[in-house]
Structure 1
C-alpha cells in the first residue's frame, strides 16, 4: 500500500561517520555506494554581485543594489522584488519599492538587473549532500552518471537527492550528530578512570530509564548542554511540566515546535491533575493515555484511524499523508471512507466527523514518535551524564565547540554554576582538548565524577593542533621548568614567536615565570637560545655522553637572566586573554568597579533570573483573539561594560552589557540612541535605567529597553557622596602625594574620608574639608588605589534624581 519508499535518517558520531560510509561501501561494493551531489544556484543577491563584477561596475553601486534585496523571505527572487512574478501579485509585501525605482531610473542598474534576471537560479557550483548516501542493487552507472569531486576526494552521483529517488534508488541520510561525539568522548574519559579503580566500564546504551537523578536535573531546568532541552523556552516548559518518566521527555520533544506548542499548557495541566483527561472515544484510551488524552504523535493518528475508522496500517499511513498535504478533494474521499468504517462499529456520522476533524487538526503538525523517542533517548543520556559525571560531560561538550567562543563561554559559566572548578590553560597540565582532572584514584569521589576541568590548549587562538600535540608529547619527558626550557624542548617547526606570544597572553605559560610581563620581556632571548640549541644539535656539538646517549638535554643550556618587572595592569592582562581565548578568564574588566556597579544597579546581571518577577498580563479588551496583553515592562537598572554593539540604521542599536556575573542585551531607540551613540562602543562602562522584559523572540533571554543612560563616570560624579580611603602603613610624604592626586579632581560634590590615618602621635579617621570635595570618577579611584599606603578605596553612592 505504500506509495513511496520510507525515509532512512540515521545519526552517527561525527568522528566515525566516514567509517560507516566506508563500511557500507566495502559491504555492498564500492561501485554500488555513493554520496549525492548538490547544486548551488545563483540566488538574488549573489547573482547581482556576480553580474556586476562581469560588467565591471563599481563595488559600491552593486553593493547598494544587492542590499536592497531583503534577506527575508529566503525564497525572494528578483522577479518578486520587481513585482513581475505571480507570487508577488498575490503577496504585495514581496515587492521592493526602492529596487523598482532603481531599475526604472538608473540605466546601469537596469542593465545589471536585466542580466541578473536571465542568470538567476541557474546552477553556480556543485557540492556534496550533507548526509545523503545511495546504495544500488547493481553498479551505480546502471542508474545515474557519476561525478568525481575536486581533488579526487570521492565519487558522487550527478543526480541530486530528488532525482536519485526518481530513478529507483533508495536514499539514506547518514548524518553526523555532534552530541553523539560528545557522549562518546565523555564515556571514554569516564571508563578510563573507572578502569583504574577496577570498576566495570559504563555502557551508555544500558542506562536505566528510571534513574531519579537526571529527572531532578530536568525539573530544575539545569539543561544547558542537554540535547534538545537547552533553550530558555524549553527550560521554562520543563519547570512547568516536571517530567518524571521517559515518556514525558518524548512528548515534550515532540510538543516543543511550532503548532503543537499551543498544546503544552493543557498537557502540563492534565499531567498534574489540574485539568480533566478526556478521550474522543473510549476505544482510543490505550493510544492516548501516555499523552493524557492529547494527540501528539503521527502514529497516534494512524492508530485511531485503524481502531475507529477500520483502516489498514498502510491505509492509515496514506490518510496521514493526505491530512498533512490538506488536499480538499482527497480529504473528502478519506472522510467518507472513515465515516463508513466508523459506522460498522455503530458510531454516528456526526461523532465520526468530530473525531476525523480532531485527527485532521493534529495530523498537520504531529511529530513522528519514533523520531521523538530517538531524540529523547539522547536527551536522557546527556542529562544522565551531566547528573552523574558533570566534569567529564562538560569537558567533552566544551571540546566539541572549541572554535565557537560564545558557546565556550556559555559552557564554562554553566560548569562553574554546577560546582565545577575550571583550571586555566597550562602547558604543564593541559591537553589539546578540555579534560576532567581525576581525583585520587582510590577515593570515593572518583566513583562520583571529577569536579575540575583543565582548560584545553586547542581553545587558544593562534596555537594550532600540531603545536598543542607537540607540547603535550614532549611534556611526557618531564614538566617544563622555565621559558628557555620550553622553547628548547618543543619542536621548533611547531613553535614560532606568534604561537609563543599567544601562549603567554592566554596564561598558559604562567607557571614558567613570575608574571606575563616577565615572560614577554624574556621571550626574544629564549627564542635565540632555542635557535642556538637547535643549530648545535644539527651540527653535532654534543659532549661524548650526550652523543652516546642521544640525549637532547645533554646540549649545554644557555642561562637566561630573568628580569624582575611588575605584572601588567589588569586591563592589559585581561585584554590578552580576550584576544587569545575569546573571553576573560582570570577576572573581568569590571572587577575594580564591582562595588560601584552594584550600588548603581538593581542587582548584578547574573542574579536577574532569580530576582525578576514578570508583571501579570493585563486583560485585553481588543477583539484580536487574545484574552490578555503582556504586562508593562519591569523598571530596572543595569550596569556593566559594553562588549558588543549591533546598530540598525541611524535610529536604534542593541548593546550587550557584561559585569562578570552575567550578560544582558539593552536596546536604544530614537532620541536616546542619538544622545548615547558616542558612548555605545566596546569597553565603555554604562549605567542604564529602563524596562526589563523576557525577549521571547530571541530564545527567552532578558532584554532591557533603555529609557535613560549615562557612563559610569557620569553616574559616579552625580551620585557618589563619599570617597573612603582605607590606609595601612603610610610612609613619609603621603599627605603631599594625596594632595597631588586629588588636586585635579577638586570641585565636585563627593567628600573624602581617611580611615586609619596615623602620624607620630596618634591614629584616627579623618574627613577632609569641603575644599577637598572631588569629582569621584573612575580615573580618580584608579589613581588613589595605586598609591602606596592605600589598602582600599571605595565610593558610597546614593542614587537620586538630579
Structure 2
C-alpha cells in the first residue's frame, strides 16, 4: 500500500493520470480481443501499472523501481512501450481512431537524411551522368552500423572508386556536390511505431501533414524529440513477430485440442519448460535462439525466470565476461562477492555480479545514502560517461558511505565496480519483460510442439533462412510438414494427425488472402473440388484471376488433378471458356442446350478437359516455383541429385561443419544463395557467400587472395564444392573459403527419378530389416534405389518394387 500511495502521488503531481488510463484502455482492448500484448521497458517498474492491468510483471517480486520509469527528480515524461502481435497492430490503431477521433490521433513524422549512396544517385541524375556509373559508385559505398561512409573516405580507401571519380570533370563535380548535400533532409517518413493522442484536434498543438505516401491518418511536422517539448505524449505500438506466433499457437491449440491457454496463469516454475530450455533446443524461443545463446543456456542451466532474465541482460559485449562468475557461484564452485553484507539482498539474485541498472540505483541508496530519484540521476550520468558529474558525485557517495559506517577502502572498490558496470548495465524491467515472453514461447513449445511449430513456420514464411531452421527443428521433433493441397489445406497452417502440419493456402505468395478465404469457404459449403475445370467453374463467382490459378498449380496444390505442366497448359483455355460462359449469362444470352423441354434451366455437368500429353515439368523448375511461392522445398532439394558425388568427395553438412573445432578443414557441397562484395581498407575486394544445404545455412568468408581466384565464376543459384576452414572468434564460428569450384551437374548429377535410400556402416542390422519391411508394405508409382556403402565403396541397385512418396517415406529418408 505504501508503494502504491507513493506512486499515485507522483503520477497525480506530475499530471499523468490520463496517460495511464489511455494506455490501460489500449492494453485492455488487446486482451479482450485476443491480441497478445506485452509491456517492455521501465514502465514495468510501476506497481500502479501492474494493478490496473497495464503490465504483466509484479514489480516488487522482480525488484523493479518506479523511479526508473517516473522520477520525481527528473522532468522527462514516462514512456510505456507497448508490444503487440505484429499482424494485428492495425486493429489497435483502428480502435484508437474510432474512440478518440481521427483529428486527435496522428502518427509521428520523421525526416530522412541524404546519405552518400542516395546523394550520388540524385546528383548524378541532375548532372546527366550515366546510370551505370552512378549505380556502380553507389554500390561501392560501404555501410557501417547502418550509416554510409562519406565520399572522401571512399575516395581515400577504395582505388577503383577514386579512379571513377577522377576520370572526368563531371564526376569530380559530382563528388564536390555530394560533399555539400550529404546529411541534409531529403524527405519525410513516419515513425515505425509512435503515435500521439490529444484531447482536442492535434492541429491545435502542432502542425500536421499528410503521411509520407499521401494517405493514412496524417502525421506531425515535429519529430519525436520535439513532440515532448510541446507537452504531447507519445504512445508506442510496436509490432512484435513473436507475440503473433504466440497468439497463433494459442488459437491452434484451441482449434485442435479445445484447450484455452491463459498466459497470465501459467506456472512460472513449470519443469517441462525449463527442461526444454536447459537442453538448448530453443529454436523459436524468443531471444534465446542464437548458437552462442544456446551454449550459454547449457552452461547456466536456467531454473527460474530470474535466470532467463540474467541471461538476456548478460549476453552482450561487456557483461558477457562475467557469465562464468555467475555460473561458478550458481554451481557452488565460487563464493559471491557482495563487498558488503548489506548488499546481499540486492546482488544475491545475480550471484554477486552487478548486472542491472536497478542494482546500481539500490546500491547508491543503501551505501551512499541517495534517494532512488537521485540514484537514478547518478545511474544516467554513469551510463552516459559524464565524467564531470561523476567526479562531483564520488565525494558525495564516499561521504554518505562513511556516515553510514561503511569501510572507505571497500567503498572505493565498490565505486570503481559501479562505474565499470554502469557502462553496460542493463534495464532489468526490459530484461524481465523479455524473459516473460521467452518463458511463454518456451512453455508453448514444450507442451504443444505441433501447434507452436505450425505458428512459427507461418510467421517465418517471408524469410527463407528462418524457414530452413524451422524445418530442421520440425525434423528433430519428428513433425512432418505436409505440402499445400487444394482439398485439404485451410487458410492457416493446420494440424493433421499426431505429427503433421499441413501448409496453409494463405502462405502461398501472390494468390491473395481474399481468394484463399473464398476457396476454403466454397470447399466447406459445397465439398471438395473434383478437377481443374470444377475448381475454375466454382471459383469464377469470386472473380479469381487466371494468374492466381497458375500460382496455385505451380505451388503443387493441384497435383491430385494432374502433372503441373499439363495443368498449366490447359488452364488458360478453361479460364477463358468459363469466363465467356459466365459473360453470356450475365448479358442474358440463353444456351438452348441448357434448357429443358419446358424451357427451364438445367444444371449441366462441368466439362472435364483432358490432360494433354506434354513434357513433364523439369525438377529444377518445380523446386524454383516452390521456393518462390512457398518459401521452402517440398518435392525434393536442389542438391539431391549430387549426393553420390558428395559422398565420393567426403562432403559433410553445414550443420556438421559448424560443430567442428577451430581451424578444422571441411569439404562442403552447397548452393550459393547470395554474394556480397566489399572493399577492404587496403583497397582489395573480398566477398561473403550465403550458402545452403539440406541441414541449414551459413555465411562463408572469401578473403582477397581466394576471391581473385574465383571471382570470375561467382554466381548465385548453382551448386559449389567448397574447401573451408572453421574459425572460432569470440565464441562465434565462421567458415573461411580456401578453395571453391562450381559443380557440373550434367557430369556429376544423378538423374535417377525416384527415391534413394542410403545404407551406411552406421546403420544396424535391425534398422535395415525395418526399412526392408517398410518398402515391402508400401505401394505406389515411385521407383526405389538402394545405395549400400561398405566403408570404402558404393554399390547401388534399382528395385522392381515401387512405393508411394508420402510423409512416412520421408521419415525413412531421414534415417537412410
Q: Deviations over 1:460-510 (max 9, x none)?
A: 333222332222222121101111111211136653443333222221111
Alpha-carbon contact 2:594-2:601 (below 8 Å) kept:
no
Name the SS of the counterpart of 2:209 in structure 1.
strand
* 1:495 is the counterpart of 2:579: no
Counterpart check, 1:485 vs 2:534 = yes
CA contact 2:116–2:151 (8 Å) conserved in 1: no
SS of residue in 1 equivalent to 2:189 = strand
Matched with 2:210 is 148
Q: Does 1:121 align with 2:193?
A: no
Question: What's the CA shift for 1:715?
Answer: 10
Task: Measure the CA separation in 1 of the matches of 2:634 and 2:619.
Answer: 12
Deviations 1:544-587 (A, max 9, x none): 69999999xx2342232344678545444434433433442121
Corresponding residue for 1:414? 473
Match status 1:534 vs 2:582: yes
Distance 1:31 1:532 in 2: 48
Instruction: Identify which range, 484-493 or 686-695, moves more after superposition.
Output: 686-695
SS of 1:426 mapped into structure 2: coil
The corresponding residue for 1:59 is 131
Q: Distance in 1 between matches of 2:740 and 2:169?
A: 47
CA positional deviation for 1:66: 3.6
Counterpart secondary structure, 1:40: strand
What is the aligned counterpart of 1:376 among 435, 441, 465? 435
Report the TM-score, using the length of structure 2 for normalisation.
0.75
SS at structure 1 position matched to 2:78: coil
Question: Residues 603 and 531 from structure 1, CA distance in 2 versus in 1: closer, same or farther, beyond 3 angstroms?
Answer: same
**Secondary structure of 2:269's match?**
coil
Q: How do 1:705-716 and structure 2 match up within 5 A?
A: 705-707=737-739, 711=743
Secondary structure of 2:81's aligned partner: strand
Q: What CA distance in whole angstroms lies between the structure 1 residues aligned with 2:477 and 2:355?
A: 34
Q: Kindly state the Cα deviation for residue 251 of structure 1 after the two structures are TM-superposed.
A: 0.7
Check if 1:44 corresponds to 2:116.
Answer: yes
Rounded to whole Å, the distance in 1 between the matches of 2:529 and 2:74 is 67
In the TM superposition, residue 343 of structure 1 has moved relative to its aligned partner by 0.6
For residues 49-83 of structure 1, give each alpha carbon's deviation from its aligned partner in whole angstroms, at most 9, with x where no partner exists.
21221222222343344445432265557486499
Query: Which entry has the higher C-alpha Rg, 1 or 2?
Result: 1
Q: 1:668 to 1:21 in 2, by over 3 A?
A: closer
CA contact (8 A) 1:536 1:555 kept: no
CA distance in 1, matches of 2:503, 2:701: 34
Distance in 2, matches of 1:640 and 1:104, equals: 41
1:192 to 242, 248, 255: 255
Residue 284 of structure 1 is matched in structure 2 by 343
Equivalent residue number for residue 775 of structure 1: none
Distance in 2 between residues matched to 1:536 and 1:370, nearest whole Å: 67
Indicate the residue corresponding to 2:486 in structure 1. Answer: 427
Residues 487 and 523 in structure 2, CA contact (< 8 A), matched pair in contact too: yes
Q: Secondary structure in 2 aligned to 1:174?
A: strand
What secondary structure does 1:176 align onto?
strand
1:130 to 157, 170, 192: 192
Rounded to whole Å, the distance in 1 between the matches of 2:221 and 2:401 is 49
Corresponding residue for residue 232 of structure 2: 169
- Identify the range of structure 1 (51-60 vs 113-122) with the bigger mean alpha-carbon deviation: 113-122
Which stretches in structure 1 are left out of the alignment for 5+ residues?
A: 84-92, 440-449, 616-632, 725-787
For 1:193 and 1:31, the matched residues in 2 are separated by: 43
1:242-281 aligned at under 5 Å gives the runs 242-281=301-340
Q: CA deviation at 1:299?
A: 0.5
Higher RCO structure, 1 or 2 (CA under 8 Å, sep 6+): 2
Deviations 1:176-222 (A, max 9, x none): 21211221121122123343xxx5x2112211111111212111221
Q: Deviations over 1:692-750 (max 9, x none)?
A: 335769xx455253347574779979xx9xxx9xxxxxxxxxxxxxxxxxxxxxxxxxx
Unaligned runs of 5+ in 2: 1-72, 753-781, 794-816
Q: TM-score, normalised by structure 1?
A: 0.77
User: Cα deviations across residues 234-269 of structure 1 (Å, max 9, x unaligned)?
Assistant: 112112111111110011111122322222222222
Cα gap change, 1:640 to 1:168, in 2 (>3 Å) = closer
Go from structure 1 to structure 2 and tell me whether the alpha carbon gap of 1:266 and 1:525 turns closer, same or farther (over 3 Å shift).
Answer: same
Provide the residue aligned with 2:553 in structure 1. Answer: 504
Q: CA deviation at 1:360?
A: 1.4
Structure 1, 585-594 or 317-326: larger mean CA deviation:
585-594
Q: Give CA-to-partner distance per residue, 1:340-389, whole Å, 9 cap, x none.
A: 11011222332222111111111121111111111110111011111111
Distance 1:98 1:566 in 2: 49
Alignment size in residue pairs: 682
- Is 1:364–2:394 an aligned residue pair? no
| Correspondence for 2:449 | 390
**Alignment partners' CA distance in 2, 1:429 and 1:599:** 41
CA gap of 1:537–1:212, structure 2 versus 1, over 3 A, is: farther
CA separation of 1:300 and 1:47: change in aligned 2, threshold 3 A: same
